[in-house]
Amino acid sequence: MTDSELDAIRAKRLVELQQQQQQQQQAGSNKNIQSSPEEKQQQQEDMRNTMLSSLLTQEARARLNMIALTKPEKGRMIEDILIQNARRGAFGGRKVPEEQLIGLLEQVSKATEKKTKVNFDRRRAAVDSDSD
């Protein structure tokens, strides 16, 4: 083999390697595009948790976590309210104690309280008792 043949083989191999690398980068960028909404959501959750940790005392954070475990939608609602109030500066840079969180929970419970009404159909009940 002459030097020119070796140079041609090396150049061909270099082009093949560059093409493979470009394909791998494109595949990697496609994965990044697909996983970016998940990553963004994870970053938002991390930021949310960091903000709540800085807003609440340990006792209040523990209580909120217990509520979020039992009633996720109510826990999320309380978290949203706390974050909105913090952004408006309602807490004045102080941490929210457990007692204040309990007051907020009571307000939310009163606002979202469901009224249940039970209706008895007495006519049908009277018909059933006659057949005995």
| pLDDT value for 89 | 85
| pLDDT value for 80 | 92
Average pLDDT on 34-46 reads: 82
Nearest to 81 by CA among 111, 43, 59: 111
Joined tokens for residue 70: 């039992």
pLDDT tens-digit map of 89-99 = 888 878 889 99
Contact 67, 75 (CB under 8 A): yes
